[in-house]
Chain A
């Protein structure tokens, strides 16, 4: 770990440093990172709090063994409370952006229209957000990937072409990407323009301080004001250090602990929730997947993990829509997703380098039968997500498996295996279609995943339906904002990071205006440190 100005490692801290600031930001992912740069450069005294460790490129060895326990929530084994959906979420400075796969999409217009029409969200029309998308695309070097897709992504392109389905190139937030393919274990050359290498260093340069291995346990609430947070310091294993806590005093607090994390913090803080909205409508983009055995080597571990997508099935006339992409194929990821054992598992693993992995992410939250999940606290005060899967979603899962099987055979797969406990590798689309039609759609039968947790602190101007207003201001508490993916009133229908960046840019700029009165607006300008007062 390199040392950096303004960083305090909570795993080593012995005495309470009695920290105080204008704005405390809890969480350093997409929402916290973008907000930190804007607030710090507006001259505000900012403290960033992060539960996970501060790592940098020297620490990223492209080893799943190191990255999953260190950089993922619950060692990458987080699951919904019934264990049916595995949830990947980041933990560490940069949050999920440190380990994400760099796909960068603007929020679909249909999604924004739904928010305006059905959820009382103001200021989030496509026109109003367009300048914020443009600004964040510039700041994070987002542009369509110009290098040829790797074989894993090319199979998706090929299958779509053969079937006449649309397929496009994915824009990525990278600068000088060497096409290594290890985005999920942290970029070893700082090419990925995550918060870790962009907004957070800029915020620190502007005088912000960062406390890592420090979990906001609860917000300190005096009357209807939030005055800071009670913080637990964490050890190298991400466990609370015995009796090590500190208090941070803040004029204003911005919660950006991500979906699941943000509602959990507010629940632990017993924040007022008169309309029982907190933690509700948490969305996952539940992902179903198919593995294809290809005659040619795929080497799904090498090359930009995601570079091609298809929206052919995203907005169907009825039923749950889904977006098609691929998943990188690394040894632990593949070994744990192929849920057989013994010889059968070993044989599938023998085809590791010939395995293609297609995924379908379901757009949840747009239908009455898709109200999402609910975050609650377990007896230890940790979040637990109940996410019942309705028949509406199961139907989407089944249709997506059919789509993916058809696609993979069209792309030349010799065998296709839907990820389901009762499925086998099928030799033709006919066989696969018959089998998929009969697979039991039940929790812990069909294997489902998520790398996109959203919602749980929905924004909207009607306090009866939302936790914050459209500016991210908490409806009941003063001096509290929430700015991260938990604000979304539905899922996005595309990989969410750019939606969070743009929204955070907009909301944090307004907040900076409120708190400091006047903001430097050009994020990409050279970084000069404003004088810090107080």
Chain B
């Protein structure tokens, strides 16, 4: 597993260099790359490459639902990532291995370019390209691609709408209070 992660890490970095000359410099400039690489959360499933991918997908899946301000939105995206990682810990080995394949394909340079149609590394992918990718998989005649779209949809929307922070926007007051000890507000 470690060697596979390393391999993927190297290939993603290499892809970034190849994709656009000054990529390494740009990479350094992107704050979220730093953020994802350095945050303290103990991930069990998502690799750094997976998180870069999700960091590009989450704001598109959840467009209009996340905060407008960058720092606040970054924090929300991280919560989604944490929840996705936590959810995957409960899944069966077969489903986890399918998700592993899906993430591996999409984080690989060729998969990203050919299957997702996104030319730039996920760390720099433009939202319109990501949107086009999701729209294409959603309406694909291949049930496998629709399943990929729906699988990511379920993980990401489940991760966000399980959070109390998402509830005011949908006018959900949260569970009723029963006046029990240790009950949280939301």
Chain A interfacial positions (CB closer than 8 Å to B): 58, 61-65, 68-69, 74-75, 77, 82-84, 180, 182, 188-189, 237-239, 301-302, 331-332, 334-336, 339-343, 345-347, 349-350, 352-353, 378-380, 382, 384, 421-422, 442-445
Residues of A within 8 A of B93 (CB): 380, 382
Cβ of B175 < 8 Å from any Cβ of A? Answer: yes
Q: B150 contacts which of A61, A62, A302, A444 (Cβ < 8 Å)?
A: A444
| Distance between A390 CB and nearest chain B CB, rounded to angstroms | 17
Provided the pairs A332-B162, A421-B138 are in contact, do residues A444 and B147 lie with their beta carbons within 8 angstroms? yes
Q: CB distance A342 to B60 under 8 Å?
A: yes
Provided the pairs A65-B162, A335-B157, A339-B153 are in contact, do residues A74 and B95 lie with their beta carbons within 8 angstroms? yes
| Distance between B42 CB and nearest chain A CB, rounded to angstroms | 14
Stretch at the interface among B13-21, B48-56, B69-77, B82-90: B82-90
Residues of B within 8 A of A334 (CB): 161
Residues of A within 8 A of B178 (CB): 188-189
Q: CB distance B63 to A343 under 8 Å?
A: yes
Residues of B within 8 A of A301 (CB): 172
Q: List 11 A-B contacts (CB under 8 A).
A: A69-B86, A69-B89, A75-B87, A238-B90, A331-B172, A334-B161, A341-B61, A341-B153, A345-B61, A347-B64, A445-B146
Most-contacted residue by chain A among B64, B157, B163 (CB, 10 A): B157
Q: CB distance A335 to B161 under 8 Å?
A: yes
Cβ of B10 < 8 Å from any Cβ of A? Answer: no
Q: CB distance B169 to A62 under 8 Å?
A: no
Query: Interface code B167-178, partner A: CB below 8 Å = 1, 0 otherwise?
Result: 101111001101
Cβ of B40 < 8 Å from any Cβ of A? Answer: no
Provided the pairs A336-B153, A343-B63 are in contact, do residues A65 and B90 lie with their beta carbons within 8 angstroms? no
Q: B91 contacts which of A74, A189, A336, A443 (Cβ < 8 Å)?
A: A74
Q: CB distance B91 to A63 under 8 Å?
A: no
Residues of A within 8 A of B89 (CB): 69, 237, 239
Q: CB distance B153 to A352 under 8 Å?
A: no
Residues of A within 8 A of B162 (CB): 63-65, 331-332
* Closest 7 A/B residue pairs (Cβ): A62-B175, A346-B64, A65-B162, A342-B63, A352-B170, A335-B161, A75-B90
Find the B residue at minimum CB distance from A72. B90
Residues of A within 8 A of B83 (CB): 65
Find the A residue at minimum CB distance from B160. A335
| Distance between A61 CB and nearest chain B CB, rounded to angstroms | 7
Which DSSP category, helix, strand, loop or mixed, fits chain B's interface?
helix
Cβ of B1 < 8 Å from any Cβ of A? Answer: no
Count class of interface residues, chain B: 35 or more
Residues of A within 8 A of B115 (CB): none
Query: Interface code B85-111, partner A: CB below 8 Å = 1, 0 otherwise?
Result: 011011111110000000000000000
Find the A residue at minimum CB distance from B176. A180
Cβ of B6 < 8 Å from any Cβ of A? Answer: no
The total number of A-B Cβ pairs within 8 Å is: 128
Q: CB distance B131 to A342 under 8 Å?
A: yes
Query: Interface code B105-135, partner A: CB below 8 Å = 1, 0 otherwise?
Result: 0000000000000000000000000010010
Q: Complex Cα distance A84/B150, Å?
A: 10
Q: Complex Cα distance A528/B86, Å?
A: 44
Q: Complex Cα distance A201/B170, Å?
A: 40
Find the A residue at minimum CB distance from B94. A378
Provided the pairs A65-B162, A352-B171 are in contact, do residues A346 and B150 lie with their beta carbons within 8 angstroms? no
Cβ of B26 < 8 Å from any Cβ of A? Answer: no
Query: Interface code B144-186, partner A: CB below 8 Å = 1, 0 otherwise?
Result: 0011001101100110111100110111100110101001100
Cβ of B65 < 8 Å from any Cβ of A? Answer: yes
Q: Complex Cα distance A341/B176, Å?
A: 29
Query: Interface code B33-64, partner A: CB below 8 Å = 1, 0 otherwise?
Result: 00000000000000000000000000011111
Residues of B within 8 A of A444 (CB): 143, 146-147, 150
Q: CB distance A335 to B175 under 8 Å?
A: no
Q: CB distance A331 to B65 under 8 Å?
A: no
Q: CB distance A382 to B92 under 8 Å?
A: yes
Find the B residue at minimum CB distance from A189. B178
Q: Complex Cα distance A302/B83, Å?
A: 25
| Distance between A412 CB and nearest chain B CB, rounded to angstroms | 19
| Distance between B116 CB and nearest chain A CB, rounded to angstroms | 14
Residues of A within 8 A of B63 (CB): 341-343, 346
Q: CB distance A380 to B146 under 8 Å?
A: no
Q: CB distance A182 to B158 under 8 Å?
A: no
Q: CB distance A379 to B94 under 8 Å?
A: yes
Q: CB distance B153 to A421 under 8 Å?
A: no
Residues of A within 8 A of B154 (CB): 77, 336
Q: CB distance A350 to B169 under 8 Å?
A: yes
Q: Complex Cα distance A334/B64, Å?
A: 17
Find the B residue at minimum CB distance from A348. B170
9 more A-B contacts (CB under 8 A) besides A182-B175, A353-B172, A378-B92? Answer: A74-B92, A83-B147, A84-B143, A238-B90, A336-B157, A346-B65, A349-B170, A350-B169, A382-B94
Q: CB distance A352 to B172 under 8 Å?
A: yes
Q: CB distance B146 to A77 under 8 Å?
A: no
| Distance between B161 CB and nearest chain A CB, rounded to angstroms | 4
Most-contacted residue by chain A among B95, B134, B169, B180 (CB, 10 A): B95
Provided the pairs A74-B95, A82-B143, A180-B176 are in contact, do residues A331 and B60 lie with their beta carbons within 8 angstroms? no
| Distance between A209 CB and nearest chain B CB, rounded to angstroms | 27
Q: Complex Cα distance A69/B166, Å?
A: 19
Residues of B within 8 A of A61 (CB): 175, 183-184
Q: CB distance A331 to B147 under 8 Å?
A: no
Find the A residue at minimum CB distance from B184. A61
Residues of A within 8 A of B160 (CB): 335
Find the B residue at minimum CB distance from A81. B94
